Amino acid sequence: MDFEFRAVIARPLADVFAFFRDLDQHAGQEGSVVPVYDKVTPGPTGVGTRYREVIRLLPGLTAEMWSEITAYEPERRLAYRFSGMGMDGLLDYEFEATGEGTLIVQRQSLHPRGLLNLLNPLIKPAFSRAAGNRLEGIKHLLESKT
């Protein structure tokens, strides 16, 4: 399953990229769309940096995801591979300065494993809605800090 989302955030490119680069520092804060996002490798963020994320699926139901940065180009691109909940995937953000702020293009692929493949017709719309809402939530959060 492949997805693409776009958003223009009315903030400078450097601010938007820094937020995505340092997402672990914003997790759990009021208004954050990410309740738990732990950086598990020491040092500066770059290719090879790994994260543990706890995703809220439903009230009282969470799942754990693991990710690793696979591409890191400051203020241009940030890409990950991730796994958890019986799925693997890729997530790629591209950043571009525009007259209105920063354009983010989020491309994502999701590959359910095993029996989850049977649920593809249900997973695709639910995941699409959740991923789109997450990007819109980040847009709202960043624009409210102006």
Q: Which is the CATH superfamily of the domain at 2-143?
A: START domain (3.30.530.20)
| The predicted structure's pLDDT at residue 58 | 65
- For the whole model, what pTM was predicted? 0.87
What local confidence, expressed as pLDDT, does residue 103 receive? 98
57 neighbors 63 (Cβ within 8 angstroms): yes
> Residue 127 in 3-state DSSP?
helix
In this predicted structure, what is the pLDDT of residue 106?
96
The pair of structure tokens assigned to 134 is 């997450």
Q: Where do the H-state alpha helices sit in 6-119? A: 13-21
User: How many Å apart are CA 140 and CA 133, to the nearest integer?
Assistant: 10
Instruction: Determine the Cα–Cα distance for residues 115 and 126; give it in Å rounded to an integer.
Output: 17
Domain boundaries in the chain?
2-143
Query: What is the edge-to-edge ordering of all strands in the sheet holding 36-39?
Result: 2-9, 101-112, 87-98, 77-84, 61-73, 50-58, 36-39
Compute how many other C-beta atoms are within 10 angstroms of the C-beta atom of residue 98.
Answer: 11
pLDDT the model gives residue 49: 97
Q: What pLDDT is stored for residue 25 in this prediction? A: 82
d(CA 54, CA 24): 12
**For residue 32, what pLDDT is reported?**
54
Write out the chain's pLDDT in tens, 146 residues: 999 999 999 999 999 999 999 988 877 766 555 678 899 999 999 999 999 988 776 677 778 899 999 999 999 999 999 999 888 999 999 999 999 999 999 999 999 888 888 877 888 888 888 888 888 988 988 998 76
